[in-house]
């Protein structure tokens, strides 16, 4: 079998991520996380439960939202093991308002 023209695993992952982002599902997932946090600060596990998204997706969306300064670490849970509690920032509230008003 000639593997010279086979894409690498990284290329396949990158292509799948690009397709997912173009589909709009990525931004929909972000919106779901932001909307869930509008009701109060939550851990990633709590976000997964209330949004119905897999924990792996929640972790990725939270990383993106942290990088955008839409959410921040509000504290640590009392659970054992302790987990980060995430909350909306002012920028996150503004982004939620823009989305509700039909903006990007």
Domain count along the chain: 1
Range of the domain at 74: 25-100
Which CATH number belongs to the domain containing residue 81 in this structure? 1.10.10.10
In a domain, 6, yes or no: no
In a domain, 19, yes or no: no
pLDDT for 47: 97
pLDDT for 6: 80
In a domain, 82, yes or no: yes
Which residues, 6 or more positions from 91, have their beta carbon under 8 angstroms from its beta carbon? 68, 69, 70
Q: Which residues are 18's β-sheet partners?
A: none
pLDDT for 104: 44
In a domain, 94, yes or no: yes
CA distance 20 to 89: 26
In a domain, 55, yes or no: yes
In a domain, 79, yes or no: yes
In a domain, 52, yes or no: yes
In a domain, 50, yes or no: yes
CA R_g for the chain: 17
pLDDT for 71: 96
Per-residue pLDDT of the chain (104 residues; tens, 9 = 90+): 555 678 787 787 667 666 656 665 558 889 999 999 999 999 999 999 999 999 999 999 999 999 999 999 999 998 878 899 999 999 999 888 887 775 54
Element (H, E) at 90: helix 90-100
Sequence-separated contacts (24+) of 67-76 with Cβ below 8 Å? 68/95, 70/34, 70/95, 71/33, 71/34, 71/37, 74/41, 75/41
pLDDT for 79: 83
């Amino acid at each position: 079998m000639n593997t010279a023209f086979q894409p690498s695993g990284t290329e396949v992952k990158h292509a799948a991520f690009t397709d997912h982002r173009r589909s709009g599902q990525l931004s929909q997932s972000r919106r779901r996380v932001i909307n869930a946090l509008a009701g109060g600060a939550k851990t990633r596990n709590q976000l997964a439960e209330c949004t119905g998204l897999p924990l792996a997706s929640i972790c990725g969306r939270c990383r993106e939202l942290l990088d955008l300064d839409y959410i921040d670490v509000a504290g640590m849970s009392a659970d054992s093991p302790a987990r980060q509690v995430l909350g909306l920032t002012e920028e996150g509230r503004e982004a939620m308002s823009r989305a509700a008003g039909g903006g990007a």
